Structure 1
Amino acid sequence: MKMLLAMRIGWRFYMARQSNRFINFISFASTAGIALGVAVLIIVLSAMNGFEKELEERLLGVVSHGELVGVNEPIHHWQDIVADANKIEGIVAAAPFIRMQGLVQKPGGFQGLTVLGIDVAQEANVSNIHHFMSDKSWQSLQNGSVNNIVLGKGLAKSLDISVGQSISLYMPNNSAGGNKIAAAKSHRFVVSGIFELGGELDTTTAYVSMQYAAQLLKLEQNVSGIRVKVENVFQAPMLIRDLGFSQQQYVYITDWTRTQGHLYQDIQLVRMVMYLVLALVIAVACFNIVSTLVMAVRDKQSEIAILLTMGMKKTAVMLIFIVQGALNGVLGCMIGGSIGAVIAVNLSAIAKGVESILGIQLLSADIYFIDFLPSKLLASDVITVVSLALLMSLVATLYPAWKASKIQPARALAGR
């Protein structure tokens, strides 16, 4: 009952505020600081979650988890390697590919291009690239005797080319001998479709039929390498290594951690740094609670003395100011959590609106692996951030509350 009374008094102290306007301002600043820190931290964590999601679903869904590439020669009997891969637990699927490197001419110079020859039926098992193009574009790669090519939207835009038009790919002539640049051959392709992935892959990668690529390079039944998809991307290095070491032919072994792993590490580093910085922002805001309560205790010394003389215990006096200070944290967390969640859910749309209004692009496809600002709000992040802020605000109330309990009623009343 006494604890309930202490909580009610703490609530009344909070609602009544203090006669000192400076104390009220510091109280408002602490609440606003906590709200700002909580909101920004939720937004940043949601953005980092969005980048992780896009990295896994968009980039790693298209870029192979691992590859085996022939050393100085094509891979023979690739069907055996695919069969070996299917026997390893943790490997979902494997598919052959033929890789060609060349240049395409664009206004102002040339653009380097990687052309992947794929088998439509098998590629769908290891890559999600078909999700980023129309069914018509995907089906156009089935006919192995036709020189169809599917370009990325970024490359098509830079070349100012559309579906139905043709492009020339300049490739080195491996049979020309010494000066391969001078002996480069031109191969013409018809643009049969455009995929839109966003980011660098849109400007550097294209797809053709594997059968046509084999005819072009005179590989017959051989391929450049094997693409592998695994169930757990973090186990890819071990699984790809096991598959590669079991082969009779010499192969290069690569996995996504060597080609794209820096992106994941960068995301985790930014997440950790931002979490630390914004947690310190919340901590600074909570220190304002200390200042507010210290001045509130001095302002309420006579009231505290009267309560003590009426028999209220020191623990109850402490609870009064703990409640008063904690309410600042609760209010800040409620405001910050609500604002942060709303902005995080609509962050991509807000970013697009800012880009259209200011006429700028926040994320350039030439630099980042995506060209938009992603977001993924997790309830666990909201709970963690709010809990952290509440804990900090509660800790900040302990010292002023303890000082309030140490007030001597006689001295306080005598100096009234």
Structure 2
Amino acid sequence: MKLPYEWQIGWRYTRAGKRTTGNGFISFIALMSMTGIALGVAALIIVLSVMNGFQKEVRDRMLSVLAHVEVFAPNGGLTDWRQTAHEALRNPAVLAAAPYVEAQGLLTRQGAMRGVVLRGVEPSLEQQVSGLGAEMRAGRLADLKPGDFGIVLGAQLSQQLGVEVGDKLILLVPQGSLTPLGMLPRFKQFTVAGIFESGHYEFDSALALINIADAQTLFSLAGPTGVRLRIQDMQRAPEIALELTRSLSGNLYIRDWTRQNQTWFAAVQIEKRMMFIILTLIIAVATFNLVSSLVMTVTNKQADIAILRTLGAQPASIMKIFMVQGMTIGLFGTLLGVALGCLIAVNIPTIVPFIEHILGIRFLPPSIYFISELPSDLKLLDVAKIGAISCLLSVLATLYPSWQAARVQPAEALRYE
């Protein structure tokens, strides 16, 4: 199929030879424009992939402790939790349910004191709704037996209190006991039954687990605080929570995991948007080079433009020639950047350790960061957005030079030829 002459001439100008110094210099500028676009696109893909990787890693570590959805009563006690769990499990998206008690307390041992969030759990059911069972560094969740008053601590919390499995400590709770001396805090001795390490500092330093029966006895509760649910697709948690508000009976509050950490996720999204805008400016700078190369091409090809006009070419056709040239440079630069960015983003777990080995440094020392490897999560939607923006900027960059080419007057251009 024979292409229109505008396309043929535009492509010929893109690969202009070096018969003259001017053509060679213009080709060099065009090559630099293409390289700049490619580097900008690649950098944007790599940075967003790494940010997505960090977000996914932190989210997965948070969800090893948090439930996807929580159902609880406004008065703090869910007396018939089995009925609530049964109604929730009717939803095909809900995989498991487990009761829990949540309260606050103060742990103390040999002068060290730490405030903690206490969570009473049923060990056999808890492992179905969270990944804490796989995060145990010592002991097991199953060791939390009713009446034994065992406690499982986060790794950071155990270090702060200086305890290991088998050690004793005292738990003080806000609910007081009335004595002849007045109201005194209630306290109970617990034995450390296990230590978990989720990799999330907030939980490892402030969360303690006890058996749900011990929690109800300690806090004088008639039932659990609520029910924790695990669903098939955690990304659908807000949608499933909305469905449960319509299907569950009783006056209940329902909260999904995105609401529990709304501030953190909002901050991450803002950071990603700002990084996207900042790195898009790199592509914009490269398109400015494209504008300059096209302007120089138009200046250099004024005689050719005049001849085409005298042969009957319309201004729109002249404009199309230089738009084809600019869009070709932008498209090739975008495709090269997408290929390079995707290749590096997919292989970051291999490339980063190699660079660390060559330079003899660690970008994320395990002693400082809980995530010791640089994660990457390449998303096709991000790649598509970046590619579309790069192509759009390239098209916009061609408008002014092409319009200038269309305004060239044949008589003026040929006067001194």
Q: Same fold (TM over 0.5)?
A: yes
Q: C-alpha deviations, 1:356-377, integer Å up to 9, x for none?
A: 5367789967xxxx88764310
Q: Cα distance 1:36–1:215, how it changes in 2: closer, same or farther (>3 A)?
A: same
1:84 correspondence with 2:76: no
Cα shift at 1:227: 1.9
For residue 153 of structure 1, what is the aligned residue in structure 2?
A: 155
Task: Find the residue that maps to 2:228 and give its secondary structure.
Answer: strand
1:45 correspondence with 2:48: yes
| 1:239-318 correspondence to structure 2 within 5 Å | 239=243, 241-242=245-246, 246-247=249-250, 254-306=255-307, 317-318=318-319
Q: Cα distance 1:358–1:385, how it changes in 2: closer, same or farther (>3 A)?
A: closer
For residue 235 of structure 1, what is the aligned residue in structure 2?
A: 239
- Report the more deviating stretch, 9-18 or 380-389: 9-18
| 1:126-141 correspondence to structure 2 within 5 Å | 126-133=129-136, 137-141=140-144
1:11 correspondence with 2:9: no
Contact 1:100 1:116 (C-alpha < 8 Å) held by counterparts: yes
Q: C-alpha deviations, 1:2-53, integer Å up to 9, x for none?
A: 3564144223327779628985675455334423431232234324533553
Q: Normalising to structure 1: TM-score of the pair?
A: 0.78
Contact 1:18 1:299 (C-alpha < 8 Å) held by counterparts: no
Task: Find the residue that maps to 2:79 and give its secondary structure.
Answer: coil
Task: Find the residue that maps to 2:175 and give its secondary structure.
Answer: coil
Q: Counterpart of 2:239 in structure 1: which amino acid?
A: Q
Q: Counterpart of 1:12 in structure 2: which amino acid?
A: R
Contact 1:6 1:317 (C-alpha < 8 Å) held by counterparts: no
Aligned mates of 1:68, 1:355 — CA distance in 2: 50
Aligned mates of 2:319, 2:300 — CA distance in 1: 15
Cα shift at 1:165: 4.5
Q: Counterpart of 1:209 in structure 2: which amino acid?
A: N
Aligned mates of 1:17, 1:60 — CA distance in 2: 64
Q: Cα distance 1:251–1:3, how it changes in 2: closer, same or farther (>3 A)?
A: closer
Contact 2:79 2:224 (C-alpha < 8 Å) held by counterparts: yes
For residue 362 of structure 2, what is the aligned residue in structure 1?
A: 357
- Report the more deviating stretch, 191-200 or 12-21: 12-21
Q: Counterpart of 1:386 in structure 2: which amino acid?
A: G
RMSD, aligned α-carbons: 4.2
Q: C-alpha deviations, 1:80-100, integer Å up to 9, x for none?
A: 332233345654433111234
For residue 174 of structure 1, what is the aligned residue in structure 2?
A: 175
Task: Find the residue that maps to 2:70 and give its secondary structure.
Answer: strand
For residue 94 of structure 1, what is the aligned residue in structure 2?
A: 97
Contact 2:41 2:386 (C-alpha < 8 Å) held by counterparts: yes
For residue 35 of structure 1, what is the aligned residue in structure 2?
A: 38
Cα shift at 1:234: 1.2
Cα shift at 1:233: 0.7
Cα shift at 1:309: 5.4
Q: Cα distance 1:63–1:264, how it changes in 2: closer, same or farther (>3 A)?
A: same
Cα shift at 1:393: 0.8
Q: Counterpart of 1:194 in structure 2: which amino acid?
A: F
Q: Counterpart of 1:149 in structure 2: which amino acid?
A: I
Aligned mates of 2:378, 2:109 — CA distance in 1: 41
Cα shift at 1:294: 0.9
Q: Counterpart of 1:187 in structure 2: which amino acid?
A: Q
Cα shift at 1:183: 3.3
Q: Structure 2 unaligned segments of length 5 or more: list them.
A: none
Q: Cα distance 1:393–1:167, how it changes in 2: closer, same or farther (>3 A)?
A: farther
Task: Find the residue that maps to 2:22 and give its secondary structure.
Answer: coil
Task: Find the residue that maps to 1:172 and give its secondary structure.
Answer: strand
Aligned mates of 2:197, 2:108 — CA distance in 1: 20
Task: Find the residue that maps to 1:19 and give its secondary structure.
Answer: helix
Q: Cα distance 1:332–1:152, how it changes in 2: closer, same or farther (>3 A)?
A: farther
Matched residues, percent identical?
Answer: 32
Contact 1:106 1:158 (C-alpha < 8 Å) held by counterparts: no
Cα shift at 1:329: 1.7
Cα shift at 1:161: 4.5
Q: C-alpha deviations, 1:272-317, integer Å up to 9, x for none?
A: 3333443344234323312221122112323444555577776664
Q: Cα distance 1:195–1:92, how it changes in 2: closer, same or farther (>3 A)?
A: same
Q: Cα distance 1:120–1:387, how it changes in 2: closer, same or farther (>3 A)?
A: same
Cα shift at 1:261: 2.2
- Report the more deviating stretch, 63-72 or 32-41: 63-72
Q: Cα distance 1:310–1:251, how it changes in 2: closer, same or farther (>3 A)?
A: closer
Q: Structure 1 unaligned segments of length 5 or more: list them.
A: none
